[in-house]
Amino acid sequence: MTIDPDSRRSIRKIAREDFVACPVWEWALNEEHSDGHGESFVRPTALASLPLGVVRHYIVSATATLSDGSVLPACAEVSVRVKKVLIEPMFIFLQDRHLDFGGTETRTVLSHYIKQADARPVSWELAVPLDGETAPPKGTVRRSLAERLAQVWKRVSGGAQRKTILAP
């Protein structure tokens, strides 16, 4: 695959179609001052897997599985260190929008989209493997500590109200 050097774009402007054409993009670091590109620009790569051992930062095509089982296109940031790989889901593509993986607006929009209350991403999977692996990495999305505490509080306070109502 030949990569056009003029295909760089702001991460805010990247679209699902860009990931279909090229599943691995990298931050266009050290190019911030050329041709008006800022630090938020990414460029496509011809990589079919993510190389290990060289410090690099990639934006990679992924899928997000929602709480109802629906699967939507997404992307994740992959930071390759010398001996470690960090993967952080970034956003979900929904029509022409980028929905932050952990955003509260995301849950509202997804709930309207799939017509189910409390819709949220529960897992993700990259579109490409790491070098030497046969399957792409995948992971789960945990609720924030605040959300988990709120859920416990809701159960505890809801149970106390039922006991009060049922008491003679």
pLDDT digits (tens, 9 = 90+) for 96-128: 889 998 777 888 899 898 888 888 899 999 999
Please answer whether residues 106 and 84 qualify as being in contact, where contact means their C-beta atoms are separated by less than 8 angstroms. no
- CB under 8 A, 24+ apart: contacts of 10-17: 10/38, 10/40, 10/41, 10/42, 11/40, 11/41, 11/42, 11/59, 12/40, 12/98, 14/42, 14/59, 14/75, 15/93, 15/96, 16/73, 16/93
Q: φ, ψ for residue 102 (rounded to 5)?
A: -105, 10
> For the segment 124-149, what is each residue's pLDDT rounded down to a tens digit?
999 999 999 999 999 998 766 666 67
Tell me which residue of 37, 49, 29 sits closest to 10, measured CA to CA.
Answer: 37
% of the chain with per-residue pLDDT over 70:
79
% of the chain with per-residue pLDDT over 90:
49
> Across the strands, what pairs with 140?
123
What are the structure tokens assigned to 31, written together?
């190019």
Name which residue leads in pLDDT, 83 or 154. Answer: 83
What are the structure tokens assigned to 52, written together?
């290990």
How would residue 7 be classed by pLDDT, with cut points 50, 70 and 90? Answer: confident
If you average pLDDT over every residue of the chain, what do you get? 83
How would residue 34 be classed by pLDDT, with cut points 50, 70 and 90? Answer: low
Q: What does the alpha-carbon distance between residue 92 and residue 15 come to, in Å, rounded to a whole number?
A: 10
Q: What does the alpha-carbon distance between residue 28 and residue 43 come to, in Å, rounded to a whole number?
A: 6
Supply the pLDDT for residue 163: 47
